[in-house]
Amino acid sequence: MEQFRKKLKIRISWLSVLSLTTALMGVYYVFFAPETIKNITVFEFQGGASVAICILSSLNIIKYIKILKDDNKLQLKCNKENDERFKIIKSKAGIPIVPVLSVLMIMSGIIAGYFNITVFYTLIIVAMCQILISGIIKLIYIKKM
């Protein structure tokens, strides 16, 4: 249990770094970015994604802090993360490989988008489809197993 507590604390620190970085990026987009690039679709997407990541990581930090305060919730979370059935379901749905690949695809899509907007749209759609399919497979196996 102590090991899991440490794991959550490490997760909180990484999420704090992510949250702070994306918040700073958001501030840059709104106040300091040059007007010439502000109307580019890729730039707007990048800004939106940063804000979404910032909000999600902040919410997760709050969730983990609440879990750390309650031993019962901590035990439940620990059981959920180490549950053998969920591990099998996740591996069947390609987690964590599919989400990692999707994030890499989105990042490369953003970079490529500054040169060719078609590549940007293609990579974003493929990444979204990947995540969607993985989610559907996960739901199917949750029902099936």
Partner 1 sequence: MKTKIAELRKEKKMSQEELALAVGVTRQTITSIEVEKYVASLPLAYKIAHYFNMSIEEVFDFSQIDD
- Binding residues for partner 1, rule: CB under 8 A, are 75-76, 78-80, 82-86, 142, 144-145
Q: Phi-psi category of 40—alpha, beta or left, where left has phi over 0 and alpha has psi -120 to 50?
A: beta
Q: Quick one: DSSP state of residue 33?
A: S
Q: Which is nearer to partner 1, 66 or 85 (CB)?
A: 85
Q: What's the N-to-C CA distance of the chain in angstroms?
A: 27
Q: Which is nearer to partner 1, 69 or 144 (CB)?
A: 144
Give the nearest distance from C-beta 12 to partner 1 in angstroms.
23
Give the nearest distance from C-beta 84 to partner 1 in angstroms.
5
Give the nearest distance from C-beta 92 to partner 1 in angstroms.
13
Give the nearest distance from C-beta 127 to partner 1 in angstroms.
29
8 three-state secondary structure: helix
Q: Which is nearer to partner 1, 104 or 142 (CB)?
A: 142
Q: How far from 41 is each of 28, 68, 80, 100, CA to CA, in Å? A: 17, 40, 40, 24
